[in-house]
A and B are shown apart, each in its own frame.
Chain A
Amino acid sequence: MKRHLLSAGDLDLDDTLLILDTAAELAAVADRPVKKLPTLRGRTVVNLFFEDSTRTRISFEAAAKRLSADVINFSAKGSSVSKGESLKDTALTLEAMGADAVVIRHSASGAPHRLATSGWIRGSVVNAGDGTHEHPTQALLDAFTMRRHLAGGVGDLAGLDVVIVGDVLHSRVARSNVLLLRTLGAKVTLVAPPTLLPVGVELWPCSVSYDLDSTLPTADVVMMLRVQRERMSAAYFPSAREYSRRYGLDSNRMKLLQPHTIVMHPGPMNRGMEIAADVADSPRSVIVEQVTNGVSVRMAVLYLLLGGSELSDGSAAGTANEGRGL
């Protein structure tokens, strides 16, 4: 394992399988009378959230607490960030408090990378979503969920046909999923209106389609993305109704799916927009299970980053000191 988890692209197949296998063992903790392991006793995990989040923050908090770590929750609202404190000064404060890991969500793509490489802090950095860039633990929990339902819970996802539908342009989930699913051997198809595909998507290791109906009959997994209105400054499609007609998953489209196909959504959902309510609540939907699996996967990530000896990558500690000297 590396010292930080910044991008799903940093994980090779061995790392990914180690995380998924560890998560599978840790999932059993949720069924025990004592839902806690003593492994990270005395370690401090800071949840540094510059952007709103429900499930990711709660999920990381639950994961850290189940491993007995001390958790400090930081949200930008109500902190000195609203007085204009910079990421650097916030980071130095956390370092002074002895954070062993920082879980960061930030609206700026690359903020976790800056935090990990600038030398401001010595602890591990976990990217919990940065701008429109990446959200690696979401990709891991998605892969974990797919593996559980469609690959017997072991090994990779070779040959799986995954269709990711919707606002790819603004989606860090899509990017992380494409990278991780490629590593695991799955075949990914992105489906979106041309305006909601990023520049250079033809270089991504996946195929692209503008027509949802033609991709559904062969899909093993259909992942609907949220239409991210808060990131949209221009008109990307004529109307919500038209988007929903062409790219929304409703019960008629659901009839095109194979019997075993599962429907996923990273949440939060716009019911009636990208996904119809009766689809979200159908037996095919694994959306609630994704949340459960999120805790197991994040436990695995925290354990593998913090559970052992300080990782031999001594240069990181060295740069931490150099950084402070500058």
Chain B
Amino acid sequence: MSANQEMRPVLDAADVGRALTRISHEIVERTRGGDVVLLGIPTRGVPIANRIGERIADVVGHQIPVGSLDITMYRDDLRLRPARALERTELPPGGVDDAVVVLVDDVLFSGRTIRAALDALGDIGRPRSVQLAVLVDRGHRQLPIRADYVGKNLPTSLRESVRVQLVEIDGVDGVLLGGLDEEGAAE
């Protein structure tokens, strides 16, 4: 908890709201609203995907399919820690075949989570294309992966940790940056 106390806010609730609104408009603009499926990556990608889904629905005037995609079974670091509990995977009724799938996560870091998500996606269907939306891109990629929609580019050092907070999970919206968190709260 000591790391938590040292953390300083870099985005407040209003910043988070604006970033998600901008991402939503960019998604509509680039995909022209056709066949978009949002898939949030648990845990914090899911509420973000839901919020983007609502905002897109406000713009285009109809609901768009939103789901969640658990990537636990596809992680490349499973053997480094004891077996983890699984998160929910909920695909929209229409599936993902021939859709433009937008993966949604809170923080883009090493890119390994997204690599796992692409593998998981390949086993459940064949989307027309796959895009990536993240609230925060903190750099330090270890794989050739980039985001199509970024809420905030946040230059960090490897020793820092980034923590995204959302009302649905943490009771408050915000992004915190802290030093010397061994774990790297988000990846």
Contact = CB atoms under 8 A, between A and B. Distances in A.
Interface of A: 1, 18, 21-22, 25-26, 28, 32-34, 36-39, 303-309, 311-312
Interface stretch (B19-27, B77-85, B140-148, B162-170): B77-85
Contact of A308 (B79, B88, B123): B79
A45 to B, nearest CB: 15
The 9 closest A-B pairs by CB, nearest first: A308-B83, A308-B82, A34-B123, A307-B83, A25-B86, A37-B73, A39-B73, A304-B83, A22-B86
A33 B86 CA distance: 20
B89 interface: yes
A34 B124 contact: yes
Contacts of A305: 83
15 contacts: A18-B85, A21-B85, A21-B86, A32-B123, A37-B73, A38-B74, A39-B73, A303-B73, A304-B83, A306-B83, A308-B81, A308-B82, A308-B84, A309-B82, A312-B82
Nearest to A35: B123
Interface residues of B, number: 20
B86 A28 contact: no
B78 A307 contact: yes
A22 B85 contact: yes
B105 interface: no
Interface of A is mostly: loop
A26 B87 CA distance: 10
Most A Cβ at <10 Å: residue of B70, B122, B123, B125: B123
Contacts of B81: 308-309
Contacts of A308: 78-79, 81-84
A303 B82 CA distance: 10
A33 B125 contact: yes
B98 interface: no
B124 to A, nearest CB: 6
Nearest to A26: B86
A28 B84 CA distance: 18
Most A Cβ at <10 Å: residue of B86, B88, B89, B123: B86
A124 to B, nearest CB: 11
Contact of A309 (B70, B79, B86, B123): B79
A26 B70 CA distance: 11
A149 B105 CA distance: 34
Nearest to B87: A25
Interface in B98-135: 119, 122-125
B70 A1 contact: no
A28 B89 CA distance: 9
B78 A39 contact: yes
Contacts of A1: 82-83
